[in-house]
């Protein structure tokens, strides 16, 4: 069996601290190349992680036959065209969230990958956190009965001076504010836990159209009848980062799990009301997501979260923006 030849574009903090270490840690991977517009930065990353090539041109990297899969960790508005270019070059794609900044672009990117016969995976890394894997197992087991309500918050706390990184403050590049920077992870993990599609959404943003929102409060109705109340924000100093899942026969509470890098606690309450508590250590969930994608490529099978999951995320966030800006309850159609 051969190895996955990885190339990465985008040398930001997550790529540095999480993605590249994850690629290097997997025995079935070779790090072939990194790309940055800044030659000094590209050379530094190649040296640090042992990449064979340092490029300043994405197109040049795509011409390298040793690169078989591309990791995209660039500003949001660039994702769609970079996915399409990789697909047309015959490369598999592992893309950071959000996959694209519109449903139309998500459909284009997915269509090009399907046409080229390449895999498209999305870095919804929360799916690989053990407490969320355990939460889904508990729900599927029926231990808490039929789920009827989910409440979840996610926030990094107040960020002095606004979101760090100037491109995240530019609607033309970032698309949306906290909805994309924080929210898409939470929206995806709730969809993963419910194993059901969102049918209807109602959302409120703290800013008008054209101004990057720092708070998104949303209500979702799933096809299985469950409701979800979600809040994501970047302007409050002491967030809980907790979730509660209410079922007909019990409750699951996650404390400090939705944004914590230090692990957290999962509490399950059923029957006599005595809680069962499990502590979870912090892991490199980004690395676990990379490892799962690497395994899927080596074994020639589908990977989830896939391009379909990226498309569903784009459809939901488009609906949220429409709801918030136009004061509508929006029904999603797939």
Task: Give yes or no: residues 173 and 319 share one domain.
Answer: yes
CA 57 from centroid of its chain's CA atoms: 26
Nearest in space to 290 (alpha carbons), one of 121, 79, 176: 121
Task: Give yes or no: residues 111 and 239 share one domain.
Answer: no
Q: Bridge-partner residues for 251, per DSSP?
A: 246, 269
Task: Give yes or no: residues 77 and 141 share one domain.
Answer: no
- What is the rounded CA–CA span in Å between residue 45 and residue 51? 8
- What is the rounded CA–CA span in Å between residue 201 and residue 323? 7
191-222 pLDDT per residue, tens: 999 999 999 999 999 999 989 999 999 999 99
Contacts (Cβ under 8 Å, ≥6 apart) of 261: 282
Task: Give yes or no: residues 234 and 137 share one domain.
Answer: yes
**What pTM was estimated for this model as a whole?**
0.95
Task: Give yes or no: residues 142 and 99 share one domain.
Answer: no
Task: Give yes or no: residues 300 and 323 share one domain.
Answer: no
Domain of residue 296, CATH code: 3.40.50.720
The total of other beta-carbon atoms located within 10 Å of residue 144's CB is 20
Task: Give yes or no: residues 154 and 116 share one domain.
Answer: no
Domain of residue 326, CATH code: 3.30.360.10
Residues in the chain: 334
- Ranges of the chain whose pLDDT falls below 70: 1, 160-165, 260-262
- What is the rounded CA–CA span in Å between residue 149 and residue 264? 21
Task: Give yes or no: residues 90 and 147 share one domain.
Answer: no
Task: Give yes or no: residues 191 and 321 share one domain.
Answer: yes
270-294 pLDDT per residue, tens: 987 889 999 999 899 999 999 999 9
Task: Give yes or no: residues 263 and 299 share one domain.
Answer: no
Count Cβ atoms within 10 A of the Cβ of residue 204 and give its class: 0-12 exposed, 13-18 middle, 19 or more buried: middle
Nearest in space to 150 (alpha carbons), one of 254, 54, 30: 254
Q: Which domain holds residue 163?
A: 126-282+315-331
| Residue 259 pLDDT | 79
Task: Give yes or no: residues 164 and 243 share one domain.
Answer: yes
Task: Output the six-digit token pair for 145.
Answer: 């009965």
The vertex-55 CA angle with 285 and 82, nearest 5°, equals 60
Contact (CB, 8 A) for 293 and 303? yes
Task: Give yes or no: residues 132 and 276 share one domain.
Answer: yes
Into how many domains does the chain fold? 2
- What is the rounded CA–CA span in Å between residue 251 and residue 268? 6
């Amino acid at each position: 069996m051969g190895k996955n030849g990885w190339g990465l574009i985008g040398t930001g903090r997550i790529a540095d601290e999480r993605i590249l270490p994850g690629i290097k840690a997997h025995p079935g991977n070779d790090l072939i190349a990194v790309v940055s517009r800044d030659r000094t930065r590209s050379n530094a990353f190649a040296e640090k992680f042992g990449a064979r090539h340092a490029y300043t041109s994405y197109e040049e990297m795509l011409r390298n036959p040793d690169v078989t899969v591309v990791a995209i960790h660039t500003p949001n508005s660039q994702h769609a065209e970079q996915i399409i270019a990789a697909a047309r070059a015959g490369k598999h794609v592992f893309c950071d969230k959000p996959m694209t900044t519109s449903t139309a672009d998500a459909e284009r990117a997915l269509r090009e990958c399907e046409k080229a016969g390449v895999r498209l995976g999305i870095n919804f890394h929360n799916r690989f956190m053990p407490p969320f894997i355990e939460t889904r197992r508990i729900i599927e087991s029926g231990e808490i009965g039929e789920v009827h309500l989910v409440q979840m918050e996610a926030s990094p706390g107040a960020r002095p001076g606004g979101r760090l990184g100037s491109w995240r403050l530019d609607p033309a590049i970032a698309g949306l504010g906290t909805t994309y920077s924080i929210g898409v992870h939470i929206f995806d993990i709730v969809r993963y836990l419910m194993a059901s599609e969102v049918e209807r959404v109602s959302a409120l943003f703290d800013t008008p159209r054209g101004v990057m929102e720092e708070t998104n409060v949303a209500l979702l109705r799933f096809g299985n009848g469950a409701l979800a109340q979600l809040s994501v924000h970047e302007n409050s100093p002491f967030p809980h980062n907790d979730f509660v899942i209410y079922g007909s026969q019990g409750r699951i509470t996650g404390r400090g799990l939705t944004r914590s890098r230090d692990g957290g606690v999962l509490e399950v309450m059923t029957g006599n009301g005595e809680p069962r508590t499990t502590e979870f250590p912090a892991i490199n969930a980004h690395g676990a997501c990379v490892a799962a994608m690497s395994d899927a490529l080596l074994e020639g099978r589908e990977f989830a979260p896939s391009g379909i999951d990226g498309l569903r995320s784009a459809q939901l966030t488009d609906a949220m923006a429409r709801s918030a800006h136009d004061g509508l309850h929006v029904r999603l159609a797939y």
